[in-house]
């Protein structure tokens, strides 16, 4: 019997919001995720990973997941997708 109802499993991730003062921490997170990041005059960070390129702006979040993949979200999207979880394992 087919059950068409599913719920997405919990996804543990490390998240960091770039505010312009924590550039070194953001770049370290991106480097550990095997991404190629380039700071563009402290206004944005260009991120190359796999076959994609994205741009991180002040206030955006960097998310590194269990699979070591990086995603970037503006705050309004991040706040819908993620919430703090104190019991999460270290990645």
Per-residue pLDDT tens digits for 20-51: 999 999 999 888 777 788 888 888 999 987 77
Closest by CA position to 26, among listed 86, 72, 85, 75: 72
Pairing of strands 61-65, 13-17: antiparallel
Neighbouring CB atoms inside 10 A of 35's CB total 21
Average pLDDT over residues 47-68: 88
Neighbouring CB atoms inside 10 A of 67's CB total 10
Query: Does pTM top 0.85 for this prediction?
Result: no
pLDDT of residue 51: 76
Q: Which helix H or strand E contains 33, and what residues bound it?
A: none
4, pLDDT greater than 80: no
18 SS3 class: coil
């Amino acid at each position: 019997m087919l059950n068409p109802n599913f719920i997405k499993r919990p996804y543990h991730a490390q998240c960091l919001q770039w505010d312009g003062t924590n550039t070194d921490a953001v770049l370290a997170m991106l480097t550990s995720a095997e991404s190629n990041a380039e700071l563009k005059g402290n206004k944005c960070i260009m991120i190359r990973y796999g076959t994609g390129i994205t741009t991180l702006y002040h206030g955006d979040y960097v998310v590194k997941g269990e699979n070591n993949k990086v995603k970037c979200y503006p705050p309004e999207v991040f706040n819908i997708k993620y919430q703090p979880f104190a019991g999460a394992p270290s990645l």
